Chain A
């Protein structure tokens, strides 16, 4: 099993140690340990059923781990609620896009802003005037981001009227609005045409370049993984079995075994 090398840029932004979660008798995540370097684009790969999405759910607070630790930016966040972890600056997307269909594109964006005090009833009733200024500033920022994602023309349309690819872009734009330090993307390229896929990846690279945002993404498209990730983490049967640069991981016998093993089981 690969050890966790110390990240060159100081402590890793995400440090997962011996994480476990079982569903009935199935150990979906079984003592998984991994580290994500600050400012990296890290891919999480592995055959179907390896526990990648479950790991995402455990790390982001959508599931509680049975055992193990999650440390985000030097803060222990193990078992904390999803909204608390999101506010700390670790945000995620889902395999199936979660555009809020019966809300407008602009409302989707404004919802992501993390600095609107009037989202809280007590503060809204205490100071009913100040939030409108903040709202206007957020609206301007949101429209700028939508421009960049070529969604500005649809700002007032219901998000549910967007195409599947546009919804993926909206999800990414929403994250940009929220400005997290670490983003976990669950299969950002699944069901997306190649042109849009390249566009999404270009946004990821641009975000890292401009803001230093760290990305951890689950992906099955090996070409995209090899061409875009600095580091690849491989899971199989709930464990992390390899970690390294893309070209090293590709040659790792354990990785080849895991994929071939899964293939053999599929055809059996």
Chain B
């Protein structure tokens, strides 16, 4: 076994990690809103991500929509999906709701696999990123002026973290409002919130719709990053990495999501520098093993996560 860490010094490594970490940060902001602030166990977040990415790609490729309109529509469609799935499942509690959201995400995956004329089936879709490529070239020309022209991935990095910053500001702002307070009350005790006159179902629906919109934005960015989407791009693993980010960053902290995501993806990508005399699929398994160890270490050291509040965790039991 050898470890070659020279790549860690290269900027393109960090830009690559940063893009993926940023995408998962946006994705996990939605999970944080659901799990950390509303008490909804949403295990179907990857499904909303798929809805967003496919909606964008299909609108661009099949209906020839301009990219900005397609991206806006993809968020709206994912929100609609959130409302439909939520209306059917949000009256369920805890574990049952979690099962229903997993099933909904499976359903999305099933459609993506089988509606081949629209989604390309298992071959997937590509070629939807022409407008983005043009914008990236324009941005690179500007970046060249400040000496950053040779980092071809830098535009996506900037756009991703700009979107994360906007979403973070919006959610942080909402958290401090009376609306955010009702969400926290629902997280604490639904019956108590209802007894004080709060329409628990309506708030949960709003929470899920906003999370779905964030998943869709993350999905659009992921699609631009990988330039080819197929059903496995949005497998249940994506949701579980999102939950790992949530636990690492700490439940109930929006900013913690970014810390958790950067830590997780740094470890995940750096783990690939550990050269093992093993087949590629086994190396991938070893990577996840290392991530698991890091997760355990953080949980032992800080059970509330990097930015979570220990007192709230203890009080909630």
Which of the 9-residue segments A70-78, A112-120, A202-210, A244-252 touches chain B?
A112-120
Number of A-B contacts (CB under 8 A): 92
Does chain B have a CB within 8 A of A6? Answer: no
B199 near A83: Cβ-Cβ < 8 Å: yes
Q: A119-B179, A124-B177 are in contact. Are A91 and B312 (CB under 8 A)?
A: no
Does chain B have a CB within 8 A of A86? Answer: yes
A111 near B200: Cβ-Cβ < 8 Å: no
Tell me which of B181, B193, B316 contacts A107 (CB under 8 A). Answer: B181
Does chain A have a CB within 8 A of B191? Answer: yes
B198 near A98: Cβ-Cβ < 8 Å: no
Does chain A have a CB within 8 A of B192? Answer: yes
B residues near A178, Cβ cutoff 8 Å: 196-197
Tell me which of B187, B195, B311 contacts A60 (CB under 8 A). Answer: B195
B residues near A60, Cβ cutoff 8 Å: 195
Size of the A side of the interface (Cβ < 8 Å), in residues, is 34
| A-B contacts, 26 listed (Cβ < 8 Å) | A62-B191, A62-B194, A81-B194, A83-B193, A83-B194, A91-B195, A92-B195, A98-B189, A100-B189, A101-B315, A101-B316, A103-B188, A110-B178, A110-B181, A111-B181, A111-B182, A111-B196, A114-B197, A118-B179, A119-B182, A119-B198, A121-B179, A124-B177, A131-B177, A160-B316, A174-B196
Does chain A have a CB within 8 A of B204? Answer: no
Residues 168-179 of chain A: 1 if any B CB is under 8 Å from the residue's CB, otherwise 0?
000000100010
Does chain A have a CB within 8 A of B184? Answer: yes
B residues near A111, Cβ cutoff 8 Å: 181-182, 185, 193, 196, 198
A residues near B225, Cβ cutoff 8 Å: none
A163 vs chain B, min Cβ distance (A): 14
Residues 43-64 of chain B: 1 if any A CB is under 8 Å from the residue's CB, otherwise 0?
0000000000000000000000
Chain A minimum-CB-distance residue to B311: A158
Q: In the complex, which residues 70-109 of chain A have their Cβ closer than 8 Å to any Cβ of chain B? A: 81-83, 86-87, 91-94, 98, 100-103, 107
B36 vs chain A, min Cβ distance (A): 11
Does chain B have a CB within 8 A of A3? Answer: no
